[in-house]
Amino acid sequence: MKVKIAILMAVLALVSLVCAADPARKSENASLAVPVAQSSAEADAMRVHGEQRYRANCGRCHAAPQKFPPRMMATIVRHMRVRATITDEDMRLVLFYMTQ
């Protein structure tokens, strides 16, 4: 039972940290959406990087999946970020490549 209490306290500490960090998260929120390119050259570069990250990360486990509509891709990439511990930057570039 002591262990359970310790775990609950750890979770509590974690929640407190998350809540405490809340005000600083506004700029981070945008990173969870599809990134926006400022120019067509930047978009091309992001697409190339996105394809590289996609092949390096997704190809570790499975063959190339088809492109889904952006709203589906946003869910799938979030799922894969957790499942395959993909980095935040890789996730954003893969999402850009798969949706733009």
Partner 1 sequence: MDRIVRNFEKKPWRTCSHAACLFILSCLLPTFLKAQAPDQVPELERPVPILTGNAGFFTNINGGETELVPSINPVILLPLGDRWLVESRGEFKGEFERRDGSGPYGGKVEQEVDYLQVDYIANKYVTVTAGRFLTPFGIYNERLYPIWIRSLQPTPLIFPLGTGSSDGAMLRGGFSINPKVNLNYATYFSTLSTMNKFESDRTAGGRVGFFLPGPRIEAGFSWQKELQDERSNAFGFHFAWQPTPLPLNLRSEYARSHDGSGYWIEAAYRLSQVPFWQKALRRTEVVGRAQQLFAGQISLADAAEYGLPDVNTRQGDFGLNYYIREGLKMAASYSRRFNSDGNVNLWTVGIAYRFAFPLGRVGPQ
3-state secondary structure of 61: coil
Q: CA 25 to CA 23: how far, in whole Å?
A: 6
Task: Please give the distance of CA 30 from its chain centroid, rounded to a whole number.
Answer: 11
With contacts defined by CB under 8 A, how many residues of the chain interact with partner 1? 58
Which of 23, 39, 40, 63 contacts partner 1 by CB under 8 A?
Answer: 63
Q: Does 57 bind partner 1 (CB under 8 A)?
A: yes
Considering only residues 8 to 37 of the shown chain, the ones binding partner 1 according to CB under 8 A are: 8-9, 11-12, 14-16, 18-19, 21-22, 25, 28-34
Task: Please give the distance of CA 53 from its chain centroid, rounded to a whole number.
Answer: 12
Q: Does 64 bind partner 1 (CB under 8 A)?
A: yes
Tokens 């998350």 belong to residue: 18
Which of 46, 86, 93, 98 contacts partner 1 by CB under 8 A?
Answer: 86
